[in-house]
Structure 1
Amino acid sequence: MSERDPFDLSGRSALVTGAAGGIGAAVAVALAARGAAVLVTDLDDAAAAGTAERITSAGGIAEAVALDVRDSAAATAAAARAAALTGGALHIVVNNAGATAPAMFAKTTEESVLAMLDIHVLGAFRCAKAALAYLPQDGTGRIINVTSSAGLTGALGQVNYSAAKAGIVGLTKSLAKELARKQITVNALAPAAATPMTETIRTDERFAEQTLARIPLRRWAEPAEVANAFVFLASDAASYITGQVLAVDGGLVI
Structure 2
Amino acid sequence: MKNPMDLSGHNIIVTGAAQGIGEGVSRLIADLGGRAIMVDMQGEKLEQLVDEIGSDKAEMHVGSVADPAFVQTMVDNAVSKNSVIHGLVNNAGIVRAAMAVKMPVKTWQEVIDVNLSGVFYCLQAVGRHMWERNADGDTGPASIVNISSDAGRRGTIGQINYGAAKSGVMGLTMSSAREWAQRQIRVNSICFGVVETEMTETIRSDKFRDGVMAQVPMKRFSNPDEVSQPVCFLLSEASSYITGQHLSVNGGYTIGV
Query: What is the TM-score normalised by the length of structure 2?
Result: 0.92
Match of 2:226 in 1: 225
Match of 1:188 in 2: 189
Unaligned runs of at least 5 residues, structure 1: none
Aligned positions of 1:68-217 closer than 5 A: 68-86=64-82, 88-135=83-130, 136-137=133-134, 138-192=139-193, 193-203=195-205, 205-217=206-218
Match of 2:59 in 1: 63
Query: What is the TM-score normalised by the length of structure 1?
Result: 0.93
> What SS is found at the alignment partner of 1:218?
coil
| Residue 54, structure 1, aligned to residue 56, structure 2 | no
Question: Would the aligned equivalents of 1:139 and 1:184 in 2 still touch at CA under 8 Å?
Answer: no
Identity %: 38
Unaligned runs of at least 5 residues, structure 2: none
Question: Would the aligned equivalents of 1:139 and 1:239 in 2 still touch at CA under 8 Å?
Answer: no
> What SS is found at the alignment partner of 1:252?
coil
| Residue 12, structure 1, aligned to residue 13, structure 2 | no
Question: Would the aligned equivalents of 1:49 and 1:65 in 2 still touch at CA under 8 Å?
Answer: no
Aligned positions of 1:29-44 closer than 5 A: 29-44=27-42
Q: Deviation string for 1:154-191 (max 9, x for gaps)? A: 01111111001100000100010001011100000112
1:83 is displaced (CA, Å) by 2.6
1:115 is displaced (CA, Å) by 1.9
Measure, in 2, the Cα distance between the counterparts of 1:139 and 1:39: 18
Distance 1:84 1:7, change over 3 A: farther
> What SS is found at the alignment partner of 1:206?
helix
Measure, in 1, the Cα distance between the counterparts of 2:36 and 2:3: 19
> What SS is found at the alignment partner of 1:251?
coil
Distance 1:237 1:211, change over 3 A: same
1:217 alignment partner AA: M
> What SS is found at the alignment partner of 1:15?
strand
1:36 alignment partner AA: G
Measure, in 2, the Cα distance between the counterparts of 1:233 and 1:50: 27
Measure, in 1, the Cα distance between the counterparts of 2:191 and 2:117: 18
Measure, in 2, the Cα distance between the counterparts of 1:76 and 1:153: 33
1:85 is displaced (CA, Å) by 4.6
Question: Would the aligned equivalents of 1:16 and 1:39 in 2 still touch at CA under 8 Å?
Answer: yes
Match of 1:26 in 2: 24
- Worse-superposed segment, 64-73 or 109-118: 109-118
Measure, in 2, the Cα distance between the counterparts of 1:85 and 1:243: 29
- Worse-superposed segment, 11-20 or 128-137: 128-137
